[in-house]
Amino acid sequence: MRKILNFREHVFSYTLAALFIFIVTVSYHRFMISRDYLVGYESECDPLAQSCFTGCEDDKCSEIYYYAHAIKYARDLHTQCGSDITDCEAARVCFPEETRCSITFCEPKEADCESITPGSTTEDEEINLKGLDLGQQILSENNL
Whether 92 and 44 have beta carbons less than 8 Å apart is answered as: yes
Stretch touching another protein by CB under 8 A, among 10-18, 103-111, 117-125, 132-140: 10-18
Decide: residue 89, CB within 10 A, 0-12 exposed, 13-18 middle, 19+ buried. Answer: middle
Stretch touching another protein by CB under 8 A, among 26-34, 101-109, 112-120, 126-134: 26-34
Whether 94 and 102 have beta carbons less than 8 Å apart is answered as: yes
Angle of helix 2-9 versus helix 11-27 axis, rounded to 10: 70
d(CA 135, CA 144): 11
Q: How many residues bind another protein (CB under 8 A)?
A: 31
Binding another protein by CB under 8 A: which of 2, 4, 6, 35?
Answer: 35
Q: Answer yes or no whether residue 92 interacts with another protein by CB under 8 A.
A: no
Non-local (6+) Cβ contacts of 31 within 8 A are 37
Q: Answer yes or no whether residue 11 interacts with another protein by CB under 8 A.
A: yes
d(CA 48, CA 58): 23
Binding another protein by CB under 8 A: which of 84, 97, 110, 125?
Answer: 84
Stretch touching another protein by CB under 8 A, among 36-44, 109-117, 118-126, 133-141: 36-44
* Residues that bind another protein in the complex, under the rule CB under 8 A: 8, 11-13, 15-16, 19-20, 23-24, 26-28, 30-32, 35, 37-42, 71, 74, 77-78, 83-86
